[in-house]
Amino acid sequence: MPYVRWSYCSTAAQPPARLPASGCFISVLRSGSKRAQSAYRRFARRLCATAACGLVVIAALGSCAGAPDTLAHEKRALTGVVKKVKTSDRNIPKYFVLDEHGAPTVKAALWEEARGTETGLAEFEVRYDLAAATADHRGSFTVPFTVKRRAAGIETIEAVEARDVLVWTPPKAPQADGAGILLAFDDDYREVWARYFGFFDRYGAKVTFFVQGGFSDVRLFCAEALARGHDVGYHTLTHQNLTTVPEAVFFTETGAEVRAFRDNGVPLTSFAYPFGLSKAWMHRELLKSFTVLRGYGVTFRLYHRHAVRTGYISSKALDNILFKEDAAFEKEVRDSLLAAAFIGGAVVLPLTTHTISDTADWGITPGRLAYLFETAAGLGLRFYRYCDL
């Protein structure tokens, strides 16, 4: 007996181009006999005509005894998951992955009661399309999402899928232990950084400066940075590639001046590898002296703040050399900050640059830095320092 596989979405989401005026469309995904196809097209049209909320129905044809009852359970389970997701329930555990293009993607896994499965539960994957999210004048976002059955549990029932949208409103202000960004500046651009202290204050931004050199070289800068509420981490004595130097040089570069800093009130709880390069044994050695070690890369990553209190993280570079156009910079930053805010909780997004300049390759322009600060503030993200981890 032929059966129908269900996939549906509210037409409030962006509909396919071939959606007719009735608000529904039909696509045969797997065919049986021509007679069966014709019969089930008529059946699907009747479903479209009676759909109460403009559902988009995709029908697939096959053969399975007793499938309609199971499909009814599948449909109810799918409907239940869609309703849960549309509530923007903060209790839905979300997670962060990178797609094939390196773009941030937020997903969730949900289970719903469904008779006819081995466990009595159906598992669904939720994928939130934050890149397509749109904001209204009140600061709320309309976020498209897809719900897909991960494993049907019964061989004769194929996956079901739904598309819809939810409305999500980020917090108006940073939350205690809430999501945030972890912004750092590296190397020896102390004079430039000091000129922008007022700029940071204007946005309420607190950052970490990974300084290089001996304490006597940077003591005045460190004193002012700490007094303004920023953090100071260490970036070695002379900025050498630690993976190519002898072991004795490694220990001199990373530890010879640490006591001088700490004896003079600069805690140095974190360490950033020059060029972001390291080896596993270096982590073991440096974690004896520092709480957090930081690498450097070109992809966005999210971390749970409490999970990196003692460990290694990789930070996304925001340098001008990686973004030739402002539009590319703004899209990547907006999508990643939106992902952090949407997941919520104590997640942090590590970001790194060097100087602040309109022309330097290894730095960020003042305009881009302002965009970063304004976007973070609009999403209710906190500014974390490495000493906050």
Asked whether residue 231 falls in the same domain as residue 100, the answer is no
Between 251 and 88, the more confident residue is: 251
User: What's the whole-number average pLDDT of the chain?
Assistant: 82
Mean of pLDDT values over 178-200: 97
pTM for the full model?
0.79
Do residues 55 and 10 lie in contact, with contact meaning Cβ atoms separated by under 8 Å? yes
Domain total in the chain: 2
pLDDT digits (tens, 9 = 90+) for 325-344: 999 999 999 999 999 999 99
Asked whether residue 250 falls in the same domain as residue 331, the answer is yes
pLDDT digits (tens, 9 = 90+) for 343-356: 998 899 999 999 99
364 domain residue, yes or no: yes
Asked whether residue 128 falls in the same domain as residue 203, the answer is no
pLDDT at 21: 32
Rounded Cα distance, 321 and 227, in Å: 32
Mean of pLDDT values over 111-129: 81
CA angle 247, 250, 252 (to 5 degrees): 115
Segment among 48-62, 70-84, 230-244 with least mean pLDDT: 48-62
Rounded Cα distance, 110 and 368, in Å: 38
Asked whether residue 277 falls in the same domain as residue 299, the answer is yes
Please, which pLDDT band fits residue 69 given cuts at 50, 70 and 90? low
Range of the domain at 193: 180-388
> In angstroms, how far is the first alpha carbon of the chain from the final one?
60
Asked whether residue 279 falls in the same domain as residue 377, the answer is yes
* Boundary residue ending a domain (168, 190, 210): 168
* Boundary residue ending a domain (123, 146, 168): 168
326-343 and 366-378 helices cross at what angle (nearest 10)?
30
pLDDT digits (tens, 9 = 90+) for 145-172: 999 887 644 433 445 789 999 999 999 8
pLDDT digits (tens, 9 = 90+) for 242-272: 999 999 999 999 999 999 999 999 999 999 9
Asked whether residue 31 falls in the same domain as residue 77, the answer is yes
Q: How far is CA 100 from CA 6, 104, 146, 215, in A?
A: 28, 10, 18, 44
pLDDT at 70: 62
Mean of pLDDT values over 85-93: 85
DSSP string of 26-85?
--B-S---HHHHHHHHHHHHHHHHH-SS-B---B-B---TTHHHHHHHHHHHHHHHHHHH
pLDDT at 42: 47
